[in-house]
Amino acid sequence: MATTALPQARPYGRSWSTWIYSWVTTTDHKKIGAMYIATSFAMFMIGGVFALGIRTELAQPGLQFLTPDVYNSLFSLHAITMIFLFVMPMTTGVANFVVPLQIGAADMAFPRINALGFWLIPPGAVLILSSFAFGGAPVGWTMYAPLSTKTADQGIDLLVLGLILLGTSSILGSINFLTTTFKLRAPGMTLLRMPMFVWANMVTSVLLLFSVPVLTAGLIMIFIDRNYGGGFFDPALGGNPILWQHVFWFFGHPEVYVLILPAFGVVSEIVPVFARKPLFGYRAFVLATASIGALGFTVWAHHMFTTGAVYLPFFSFFTFLIAVPTGIKFFNWLATMWGGKLRFDTPMLFACGFIALFLIGGLDGAFLAVVPFDFMVQDTYWVVSHIHYVLVAGAVFAIFASLYYWFPKMTGRQLNERLGKLNFWLLFIGTNLTFFPQHLLGLDGMIRRIADYSPNAGWTQLNFLSSIGAFIIALSILPFLWNVFVTLRRPQDAPDDPWDAYTLEWATTSPPPVYNFDVLPPIRSERPLFDLKYGSVAAHAVALPAGPDQSHGEFRIDPPEEFLGQPVEGHEDASGATRGVAAEVSAAAPDATGVAGAGTSEQAEAEQKLADRETKGDTPK
Amino acid sequence: MSGHADIAVAKPDAVAVHGASGHEQRGIDTTLMGMLLFIASEVMFFAALFGAYFNVKASASVWPPEGTDFITPVPIPLIATIILVSSSFVMQWGIWQIRKGNRTAMNRAVAITVLLGVIFLGLQAYDYYNLVTNENFGINSGVYGTLFYTMTGFHGAHVLGGVIGLIVILTRGMQGQFSSRHYMAVEAVSAYWHFVDIVWVALFATLYLLR
Claim to verify: residue A588 and residue A475 sit in the same structural domain = no
Residues linked to residue A380 through DSSP beta bridges, in sequence order: A447
Q: Which residues of A touch B38 (CB under 8 A)?
A: 171, 175
**Who wins on pLDDT, A15 or A359?**
A359
User: Looking at A430, A461, A488, which one is the last position of a domain?
Assistant: A488
How many domains in chain A? 2
Claim to verify: residue A284 and residue A399 sit in the same structural domain = yes
B112/chain A closest Cα distance in angstroms? 30
H/E/C letters for each residue in A408-466? HHHHCCCCCHHHHHHHHHHHHHHHHHHHHHHHHHHHCCCECCCCCCCCCCCCHHHHHHH
B70/chain A closest Cα distance in angstroms? 19
Residue A553's pLDDT is: 44
Q: Determine the structural domain holding residue A602 and report its residue range.
A: 504-618
The per-residue pLDDT for range B82-123, each reduced to its tens digit, is 999 999 999 999 999 999 999 999 999 999 999 999 999 999
A20 falls within a domain = no
Q: CB A228 to CB B139 under 8 A? A: yes
Claim to verify: residue A395 and residue A533 sit in the same structural domain = no
A3 falls within a domain = no
A318 falls within a domain = yes
Statement: residue A172 has pLDDT above 90: yes
Q: What percent of chain A is predicted at pLDDT more than 90?
A: 79
Q: Which residues of B touch A247 (CB under 8 A)?
A: 48, 51-52
Residue A110's pLDDT is: 96
Q: CB A213 to CB B4 under 8 A? A: no
pTM of the full structure: 0.86
Q: Which residues of A touch B11 (CB under 8 A)?
A: 519-520, 522, 574
d(CA A573, CA A577): 8
Residues linked to residue A562 through DSSP beta bridges, in sequence order: A567
The per-residue pLDDT for range A182-202, each reduced to its tens digit, is 999 999 999 999 999 999 999
Q: What percent of chain A is predicted at pLDDT more than 70?
A: 84
Choose the closest CB to A243 out of B4, B24, B56: B56
A535-546 burial, b if ≥16 CB within 10 A, otherwise e?
A: bbbeebbeeeee
Residue A17's pLDDT is: 87
Over residues A79-90, mean pLDDT? 97
Statement: residue A251 has pLDDT above 70: yes
Statement: residue A218 has pLDDT above 60: yes
Claim to verify: residue A484 and residue A544 sit in the same structural domain = no
**Nearest alpha-carbon partner for A516 in A201, A99, A197:** A99
> 3-state DSSP call for residue A563?
strand
Residue A556's pLDDT is: 41
Q: CB B1 to CB A567 under 8 A? A: no
Q: Which residues does A271 contact at the CB level (< 8 Å), separation at least 6?
A: A279, A333, A336, A337, A348, A351, A355
**Nearest alpha-carbon partner for A262 in A82, A427, A397:** A397
The per-residue pLDDT for range A500-539, each reduced to its tens digit, is 999 999 999 999 999 999 999 999 998 999 989 888 777 6
Q: Which residues of A touch B34 (CB under 8 A)?
A: 109-110, 113, 175-176, 179
Choose the closest CB to A183 out of B30, B47, B55: B30
Out of A586-600, B60-74, B151-165, pick the least confident: A586-600
Q: CB A187 to CB B22 under 8 A? A: yes
Residues linked to residue B182 through DSSP beta bridges, in sequence order: B179
Residue A565's pLDDT is: 52
Q: CB B11 to CB A519 under 8 A? A: yes
Instruction: Report the number of secondary-structure helices (H) and strands (E) in chain B.
Output: 7, 0
Q: What is the CATH number of the domain that holds A321?
A: 1.20.210.10
Q: Evaluate the CA torsion angle A400, A402, A407, A410 in order and state its sign.
A: negative
d(CA A61, CA A75): 17
| Highest averaged pLDDT of the listed ranges A115-119, A142-146, B134-138 | A115-119
Q: What percent of chain B is predicted at pLDDT more than 70?
A: 88
Q: Are strands A562-563 and A566-567 parallel, antiparallel or unpaired?
A: antiparallel
Q: CB A238 to CB B142 under 8 A? A: yes
Claim to verify: residue A585 and residue A461 sit in the same structural domain = no
The per-residue pLDDT for range A573-618, each reduced to its tens digit, is 444 444 334 434 444 444 433 333 334 455 555 555 555 554 544 4
Asked if residue A195 lies in contact with residue A271, where contact means CB atoms within 8 angstroms, the answer is no
Claim to verify: residue A265 and residue A118 sit in the same structural domain = yes
Q: CB B143 to CB A214 under 8 A? A: no
Tell me the pLDDT of chain A averaged across its residues: 87
**Nearest alpha-carbon partner for A139 in A212, A30, A248, A224:** A248
The per-residue pLDDT for range A333-356, each reduced to its tens digit, is 999 999 999 999 999 999 999 999
Choose the closest CB to A109 out of B7, B18, B34: B34
The per-residue pLDDT for range B131-145, each reduced to its tens digit, is 999 999 999 989 999
Residues linked to residue A447 through DSSP beta bridges, in sequence order: A380
Claim to verify: residue A478 and residue A567 sit in the same structural domain = no
How many inter-chain contacts (A to B, CB under 8 Å) are there? 158
The per-residue pLDDT for range A457-474, each reduced to its tens digit, is 999 999 999 999 999 999
User: Looking at A488, A522, A553, which one is the last position of a domain?
Assistant: A488
A462 falls within a domain = yes
Choose the closest CB to A522 out of B4, B13, B45: B13
The per-residue pLDDT for range B169-196, each reduced to its tens digit, is 999 999 999 999 999 999 999 999 999 9
Claim to verify: residue A124 and residue A199 sit in the same structural domain = yes
Choose the closest CB to A247 out of B15, B34, B48: B48
Choose the closest CB to A239 out of B4, B41, B56: B56
A189 falls within a domain = yes
User: Looking at A455, A488, A521, which one is the last position of a domain?
Assistant: A488
**Nearest alpha-carbon partner for B125 in B89, B80, B90:** B80
Asked if residue A289 lies in contact with residue A336, where contact means CB atoms within 8 angstroms, the answer is no
Task: Using CA coordinates, name the residue in chain B closest to A172.
Answer: B38
d(CA A508, CA A582): 12
Q: CB A574 to CB B142 under 8 A? A: no
Using alpha carbons, list the distances in angstroms from residue A237 to A26, A503, B68, B208, B211: 49, 57, 14, 21, 19
Number of C-beta neighbours around residue A243 at 10 A: 22
A6 falls within a domain = no
> 3-state DSSP call for residue A325?
helix
B177/chain A closest Cα distance in angstroms? 20
Residue A308's pLDDT is: 87
Claim to verify: residue A289 and residue A426 sit in the same structural domain = yes
Q: Which domains does chain B have, with CATH numbers?
A: 28-209 (1.20.120.80)
Over residues A72-96, mean pLDDT? 96
A4 falls within a domain = no
Q: CB B34 to CB A179 under 8 A? A: yes
Q: How many residues does chain A have?
A: 621
Claim to verify: residue A435 and residue A549 sit in the same structural domain = no
Q: Which residues of B touch A566 (CB under 8 A)?
A: 13, 16-17
Q: CB B37 to CB A209 under 8 A? A: yes
Residue A535's pLDDT is: 80
Q: Which residues does A295 contact at the CB level (< 8 Å), separation at least 6?
A: A318, A321, A322, A325
Claim to verify: residue A356 and residue A241 sit in the same structural domain = yes
A44 falls within a domain = yes
Statement: residue A37 has pLDDT above 90: yes
Claim to verify: residue A399 and residue A328 sit in the same structural domain = yes
Task: Using CA coordinates, name the residue in chain A closest to B7.
Answer: A519
